[in-house]
Amino acid sequence: MTVTTGTTAVTGAVGTAHTRVEGRDKVTGAARYAGEIPFADLAHGWLVLSTVARGRVRAVETGPVLAMPGVLAVLHHGNAPRVESEYMGPLGPPDPILQVFQHDRVPHFNWPVALVVAETSEQAREAAEALTVQYDEEPHDVAFSADHPGLYTPGEIMGQAPDTEKGDLEERLAASAVVVDERYTTPEEHHNPMEPHAATACWDGGRLEVVDSNQGSTLVAQELAHLFSLDAKSVRVRSEHVGGGFGSKAVRPHQVAAVMAATMLHRPVRVVLTRRQMFSLVGYRSPTEQHIRLGADADGRLLALDHQAFSLTSTFREFVEFSGGVSRVMYDAEAHRTAHRLVRLDMPTPSWMRAPGEAPGSFAMESAVDELAERCGIDPIELRVRNEPAAGPVSGLPFATRRVLDCFEKGARRFGWADRDPRPGVRRDGRWLLGTGTAAGSFPVLAAPSSAAVTAEADGAFTVRITAADIGTGARTALTLIAADALEVAPDRVRVQIGDSDFGPATLAGGSMGTRSWGWAVTRAAGELREQLALGGTIPPQGITVRADTSEVIGALAAKERHSFGAQFAEVAVDVASGEVRVRRMLGVFAAGKIVNPLTARGQLVGGMIWGLSMALHEEAVRDRASGAVVGADLAGYHFSANADIPHIEADWVDDPDPDDPVGIKGIGEVGIVGAAAAIANAVWHATGVRHRNLPIRPDRVIAAGGGAA
Ligand code: MOS
């Protein structure tokens, strides 16, 4: 048949609410996740993790365990296949924890020391728990502090210098009418998505096949190819449905261990992490201490800004929680400094966790800005208006768009900010003290090269294939709408297939850049296909496929400050006798590019805001100094906000299309959390008159701090 597109000029899918295209499969249980996809002859691996925080493995007593029912093998440093250690992978040199079972050293508690493989998952677990591993233990240090003797200046942080400085900071501080000089802390935090990490590896002829739960199958395939010295085309990684990632679902030890076991046993092997293991193996957010100094004239105009951020890394890999980055974007001052310091501890390497850097960085800076407003006697929104920079404070580059003040204007109107009594600690509702707070947020707008293929099928449908990942964001649906508009057809004629590295290289679901990067490639491929079809002709039985790649166009993007922005508002009720803080309502207004699907976008933004609430009031991993372990490493011991903690939360936005992106997309995955915790902390101050500079704002801290007109 003859297929044309655009005959009815069907466009406008982008910007219209659409339920998830795989929603029915998910709610009926038809959608299968990595740990439940059937495989013939499947064996199950169970990781054994170290019980010491530092030392060497002296012996792995495999004998008794190998005699247990169903046990097939015990992999450890004495018998595991060797992997490559010297290469440049997709994200740089390999993470040493991916050198699974290659040596006897233990650099942190719950380091992987063995994999027990058995016929069933239960047999593997039973045997793994019975396995005796002997260690030569060494003293360890897990005590993070900003005055640790091991502090050092890290190398580049994602291409940016660890420190930036302009102007004479001490002179400008001395010349300031008002100074804020305070320290803020945030604790160790864990992402722990609902679906645990799971990977199944098998060999199909000479090809390695991995079914996984990840944020980017290209990334996982490339890393595994490097590790096992395989041609990139000899590795296929699939990840169709993913139950959350938040930065944790990259290449982690379990995928490597599964491949090793499948190689040794010549059959498919599945390794699933337990909730408890996730607290050690998939990354986390470093605790931070941040020292902020702000100096302003009597009108609240910044003369000096100093943001020093301290965080930890492991002894074997450098990761910097880039807390000062947000201050390089949000505020300018005649003297301006940001600095990052690290300390190496006997801990797992921290990793990306939703809004890495911006989440803790904005808590400190946006709290300090609120303190400055208080001391200047200026409304905190007006103070931000007076300090709105014309260009990137550190880069000097123009902003692609910067509509943060429009977010405040719209948010203030919707929230009812104009009636706010600035005095702290004076509003009561029975036992509750009431307060409101606000804060700004931003997150970088990134894009990475990706490839996509779009096929016009002979039956009139269109198939999009791209190695994208939908980690719960709604990316699959967003790409359906984007493709529909680019093809000028209704969305129900478009089928999007994702999560298969055989579809060609594409970037990961991270850095809030997935939908923007993939949408770009899909738009190009679909646009070219539409032009071809416009010439007329018949579609052959195999369809007509057009591939596109965005490497060149993204490489040619002009240097600009590209960011999403937001204004966060919160109202809280605080009982200083019981220590309870209840958030009564939250509103976030965002300038975050073209909103592709308002339904799922709202979910992304509100989800981020809820995480900010959780960060403000609940989340805190406690590290036991004696053992080096997280205390209560499960979702009962690690406290986070549940439904009963979450009030009326609204997310809204202002029109803010990105001028360079073909659809106008910026990215919404992370900006929702940024500033949310500060807005709540600022509201707690407004309620009680007491500043809480240490997160979470726990009941014991509220009781100890007191507040209100006592
Ligand atoms: Mo996100 S922390 O970039 O997966």
Residue 177 to residue 301: CA distance in whole angstroms: 10
Asked if residue 446 has its Cβ within 6 Å of ligand 1, the reply is no
- Binned at pLDDT 50, 70 and 90, residue 187 comes out as very high
> What is the number of structural domains in the chain?
2
Residue 589 phi/psi, 5-degree rounding, is -120, 130
Residues 438 and 577 in one domain: yes
Residues 528 and 432 in one domain: no
Peptide bond into 696 cis (omega under 30): yes
Rg (CA), the chain: 26
Question: Could you tell me the distance, in angstroms and rounded to a whole number, from the CA of residue 247 to the centre of ligand 1?
Answer: 4
What residues contact residue 699 under an 8 Å CB cut-off, 6+ apart?
A: 578, 579, 580, 581
Same-domain check for residues 573 and 652:
yes
Does some domain include residue 356?
Answer: no
Q: Is the CB of 193 inside a 6 Å radius of any atom of ligand 1?
A: no
pLDDT of 4 reads: 53
Closest atom of ligand 1 to CA, residue 247 = 4
Atom number of ligand 1 nearest to Cα 351: 2
Residue 692 lies in a domain: yes
Instruction: Indicate which CATH number applies to the domain containing 533.
Output: 3.30.365.10
pLDDT at position 3 over 60: no
Give the Å distance between the CA of 355 and the centre of ligand 1.
6
Question: Is residue 431 domain-shared with residue 478, that is, in the same domain?
Answer: no
Residue 538's domain spans which residues? 23-31+448-552
User: Domain check: are 533 and 629 in the same one?
Assistant: no
Q: Is residue 345 part of a domain?
A: no
Same-domain status, 582 and 694 = yes
Look at residue 671 in the predicted model and tell me its pLDDT: 98
The burial of 556, by beta-carbon neighbours within 10 Å (0-12 exposed, 13-18 middle, 19 or more buried), is given as exposed
Residues 126, 188, 289, 670: which is the catalytic one? 670
| Ligand 1 pocket residue status of 444, Cβ below 6 Å | no
pLDDT at 10 over 70: no
Tokens representing residue 663 in the block: 């659809």
Residue 537 is predicted with a pLDDT of 87
Query: DSSP states of 245-261 as a string?
Result: -TT--SS-HHHHHHHHH
| Residues 423, 570 share a domain | yes
Decide: 48 and 113 in contact? Cβ < 8 Å: yes
Q: How confident is the model at residue 11 (pLDDT cuts 50, 70, 90)?
A: confident
Q: Which pLDDT belongs to residue 708?
A: 81
Q: Supply the pLDDT for residue 7.
A: 47
> Does pLDDT of 43 surpass 80?
yes
Q: How far is CA 708 from CA 374, 434, 438, 688, in A?
A: 16, 10, 20, 5
In which element (H, E) is residue 105 found?
Answer: strand 105-106
Neighbours of 406 (CB within 10 A): 18
CB 407 within 8 A of CB 651: no
Active site residue 374: no
696-702 LR contacts (CB < 8 Å, sep 24+) = 696/187, 696/615, 696/616, 696/617, 696/618, 696/619, 696/620, 697/581, 697/616, 697/617, 698/579, 698/617, 698/620, 699/578, 699/579, 699/580, 699/581, 700/579, 701/579, 702/574, 702/576, 702/579, 702/580, 702/581
- Rounded Cα distance between 621 and 285, Å, is 10
Q: What is the mean pLDDT of residues 527-556?
A: 96
Give the pLDDT score at 421. 97
pLDDT tens digits, residue range 542-588? 999 999 999 999 999 999 999 999 999 999 999 999 999 999 999 99
633-671: b (≥16 Cβ within 10 Å) or e? beeeebbbbeeebebebbbebbebebebbbbbbbbbbbb
Helix-helix angle 358-376:598-617, to 10 degrees: 70
Per-residue pLDDT band for 9 (boundaries 50, 70, 90) equals: low
3-class SS of residue 59: strand
Ligand 1 center from residue 542 Cα (angstroms): 38
Q: Are residues 514 and 658 in the same domain?
A: no
Domain end point (choices 520, 552, 584)? 552
Asked if residue 467 and residue 437 are part of one domain, the reply reads no
Provide the pLDDT for residue 90. 85
Once rounded to an integer, what is the mean pLDDT over residues 152-180? 97
**Range 350-362 average pLDDT:** 98
Q: What is the distance in A from the centroid of ligand 1 to the CA of 511?
A: 5
Answer yes or no: do 677 and 571 share one domain. yes
Q: Tell me which of 552, 573, 588 is where a domain ends.
A: 552
Per-residue pLDDT of 276-328, as tens digits, reads 999 999 999 999 999 999 999 999 999 999 999 999 999 999 999 999 999 99
Domain co-membership, 497 together with 578: no
pLDDT, average across residues 155-164: 96
User: Is 361 part of a structural domain of the chain?
Assistant: no
> Residue 480: its pLDDT value, please?
98
Beta-bridge partners for 340: 309
Pairing state of beta strands 630-631 and 622-623? antiparallel
pLDDT tens for residues 102-112? 999 999 999 99
- Does residue 458 form part of some domain? yes
**Percent of the chain beyond pLDDT 90?**
97
Ligand 1 touching residue 247 (CB < 6 A): yes
Residue-level pLDDT at 1: 42
Q: Is the CB of 471 under 6 A from ligand 1?
A: no
- How many Å apart are CA 100 and CA 48, to the nearest integer? 12
Band (pLDDT 50/70/90 cuts) for residue 2 is very low
Band of the pLDDT at 517, cuts 50, 70, 90?
A: very high
Assess whether the C-beta atom of 244 lies below 6 angstroms from ligand 1: no
Q: Does an H or E element contain 106, and which? A: strand 105-106
Is any ligand 1 atom within 6 A of the Cβ of residue 352? yes
Pocket perturbation via mutation, ligand 1, pick of 246, 351, 515, 674 by most ligand atoms within 8 A of CB: 246
Q: Are 529 and 436 members of one domain?
A: no
Does residue 264 carry a pLDDT above 80? yes
> Is the C-beta atom of 566 inside 6 A of ligand 1?
no
Sheet of 580-591, strand order = 428-429, 432-444, 563-575, 580-591, 648-653
Q: What is the pTM of this model?
A: 0.97
**Which of these three, 497, 520, 552, is where a domain ends?**
552
Residue 170 falls within a domain, yes or no? Answer: no
Residue 438 inside a domain? The answer is yes
CA–centroid distance, residue 30 to ligand 1 (Å)? 27
Q: Please write the tens of the pLDDT for every residue from 442-462.
A: 999 999 999 999 999 999 999
pLDDT band of 5, cuts 50, 70, 90: low
State pLDDT tens for residues 594-645: 999 999 999 999 999 999 999 999 999 999 999 999 999 999 999 999 999 9
